[in-house]
Amino acid sequence: MSSSLSLNNALLLSLPFLQAALANPLHHRAQNSTCTKTKVVVLGAGMAGITAAQTLHNASIEDFVIVDVNDYIGGRVRHTNFGKDGNGEPYVVELGANWVQGLGSEGGPENPIWTLAKKWGINNTYSNYSSIETYDQTGASDYTSYFDEYETAYATVEQDAGTILTQNYQDRTMRTGFSIADWKPMKNMQKQAIEWWEFDWEYAYPPDQSSQTFSIVNYNTTFYQWSDENNFVIDQRGFNAFIIGEASTFLKPNDTRLQLSKNITSITYSNNGVTITSTDGSCIQADYAICTFSLGVLQNDIVSFSPALPAWKQTGIEGMQMGTYTKIFFQFPANADGSYFWEKGATDPTTQFYLYADPISRGYYPVFQSLTAPGFLPGSGIFFVTVVSTQSYIAEQQSDSATKAQIMEVLRVMFGKENVPEPLDFMYPRWSTESWAMGSYSNWPPGMSLETHQNLRANLGRLWFAGEATSAEYFGFLQGELVALFPLPSYTPSGEDFAPQIRLLTLVDVGAYTEGQAVGNTIAGCINKNKTTCKNEASYEVIQGCTTSERQLSPNNGWYVSSFLTYGFEE
């Protein structure tokens, strides 16, 4: 299905608002002059930063400043122009976040990103993951029967993960879980391709480097709580239009509280306040700061902290993984009849996905996606491939020409050398080398405890942290940076299939808070002298063992919603 919703008047005003903000860049204070003073400085204008600022506004706190290194609102929700249509106008494609994942189901809660996508009329189309054709070094090759074999094993793995979580057993790798469930792809490269499609494509890491427990938690809290639907955003304003729209509800045109194109170099923090210094020599002194930098920035010392981060905090930061997810775009010319080579080679010309099993390397340009399929960008000639992890690093370090040549060779193996023309346009981002990102999104490694992750979340005096990586349940997802707008209904676990795993776990009956609003609410409470909400985050200087007891599954450790909710689960 295609969802193209009408704009409301607020969004029509929000785009001029952003343009005005960019047309009048702020250059605060000369070097060595007095710092700008504010109650709260929000570091980052992505989803978490805008949500945190909006939360302050909703609490009647207007004395804040939002600072971002980029010249736009959205962070890793980033788009660019690519190719040309029949009128010579470029298409807009997403470099970062591209899907609304898990929409909602009747009688259950709704994904807040879906709520906002509908509010701001984000144009999107249902991704049909059953619309797939499979290939290997011989060309078209049907190995789709392995999907059922994988899914059977996965059902066992998720049941085991529930037992591990509720019985306080030691975590293990997803690979171990798969092997116990008798899914062992080994040197069967067709099975490896199936596994990459099912796992790596979601987590940006292979099963060997991912936690069984928290991979399942992460999947369930989105796809079982809401639904298994994934809608691909094709909005020609860019996916970040909804973030711009939300910003326009509390920021005015030319609002001096929004400082874009400002590169932060150092953060000095204490129990009394925070000072931010930028490359232009300017500084901001704030009573509180909300740091929404990506995990990759924190891990690679892009910004200096004074005093140096304590060991427990640094361990929390380094303990999480930053993955890289790279979409590589081609625009190809049409055939004489208006079709494209992948449509000619497919059993069904409306196929959305094409999976390739390389005979030597797992994850070597494995998943191609057609944007000429109905409901996307018909007639665009845009065909893109996604790589993650090691293959992302290789592609992002080598030249465009080297990457293009490798992919063209794969396409000619898949569809026939004589059928694949030279592209009209070619482009891809390099997320792992962007100093303000240093990767795409986070992943939970095996053996990392909830307490260690909580140290990543925990504040240092009046310096607070928020973002998708600090979400214990929605890490890696856009909703990890946002708050669910509606409280979840109370829930009593039931059902024989889940009973062995869920009998010890009860739902925390609160809204599905995630990081931007959670931190914004806390700081608002501190400023408004509300002792109920103004509390330091839990932190753990000493962590023993690597298991997570049930008593730790609480809001104090960022655990807001049961991972056993099944509103959106379908047999």
**CA–CA distance, 385 with 332 (Å, rounded to integer):** 13
**CA–CA distance, 221 with 6 (Å, rounded to integer):** 30
Tell me if 467 sits within 8 A of 48, measured CB to CB.
yes
The more confident residue out of 555 and 292 is 292
Taking the complete model, does pTM exceed 0.85, yes or no?
Answer: yes
Q: Is the predicted pLDDT of residue 95 greater than 70, yes or no?
A: yes
Q: Is the predicted pLDDT of residue 257 greater than 70, yes or no?
A: yes
- Write a three-state SS string for 236-249: CCCCCHHHHHHHCC
pLDDT band of residue 544 (cuts 50, 70, 90) is confident
pLDDT of 13 reads 42
pLDDT of 47 reads 93
Contacts from 81-87 at CB under 8 Å and sequence distance 24+? Answer: 82/329, 82/331, 82/382, 82/425, 82/427, 83/329, 83/331, 83/380, 83/381, 83/382, 83/424, 83/425, 84/331, 84/424, 84/425, 85/379, 85/380, 86/379
Mean pLDDT in residue range 245-261: 97
As to burial, measured by CB atoms within 10 angstroms (0-12 exposed, 13-18 middle, 19+ buried), residue 308 is exposed
DSSP state of 343: H
**CA–CA distance, 302 with 277 (Å, rounded to integer):** 13
Pairing between β-strand 463-465 and β-strand 283-291 as defined by DSSP bridges: parallel
Tell me if 44 sits within 8 A of 75, measured CB to CB.
yes
pLDDT of 550 reads 67
- How many CA atoms does the CB half-sphere of 257 hold within 13 Å? 23
Mean pLDDT in residue range 34-41: 96
Average pLDDT of the residues of the chain: 88
**CA–CA distance, 425 with 330 (Å, rounded to integer):** 6
The more confident residue out of 2 and 486 is 2
Instruction: For residue 27, count other CB atoms closer than 10 A to its CB.
Output: 10
pLDDT band of residue 571 (cuts 50, 70, 90) is low
pLDDT of 421 reads 98
**CA–CA distance, 456 with 465 (Å, rounded to integer):** 8
pLDDT of 491 reads 34
pLDDT band of residue 482 (cuts 50, 70, 90) is low
Question: DSSP letters along 423-467, please?
Answer: PSEEE---GGG-TTTSSSEEEPPTT--HHHHHHHH--BTTEEE-S
pLDDT of 514 reads 67
Q: Is the predicted pLDDT of residue 216 greater than 90, yes or no?
A: yes
Of the candidates 288, 284, 243, the residue with the CA atom closest to the CA atom of residue 266? 284
pLDDT in tens, 105-137: 888 888 889 999 999 999 999 999 999 999 999
**CA–CA distance, 268 with 305 (Å, rounded to integer):** 6
- Measure the CA angle with vertex 187, ends 142 and 420; round to 5°: 45
Angle between helices 47-58 and 515-527 (to 10 degrees): 30
pLDDT of 19 reads 39
**CA–CA distance, 410 with 385 (Å, rounded to integer):** 11
Q: Is the predicted pLDDT of residue 310 greater than 80, yes or no?
A: yes
Q: Is the predicted pLDDT of residue 23 greater than 50, yes or no?
A: no
Mean pLDDT in residue range 363-382: 97
pLDDT in tens, 489-527: 333 333 333 322 322 222 222 222 368 888 999 999 999
Tell me if 284 sits within 8 A of 413, measured CB to CB.
no
Q: Is the predicted pLDDT of residue 559 greater than 50, yes or no?
A: yes
Written as one letter, the residue type at 271 is N
Q: Is the predicted pLDDT of residue 557 greater than 60, yes or no?
A: yes
Written as one letter, the residue type at 140 is A
Q: Alpha-carbon torsion 196, 199, 205, 210, what sign?
A: negative
pLDDT band of residue 346 (cuts 50, 70, 90) is low
Residues β-bridged to residue 10:
none
pLDDT band of residue 547 (cuts 50, 70, 90) is low
Least reliable range by pLDDT among 111-125, 266-280, 498-512, 538-552: 498-512
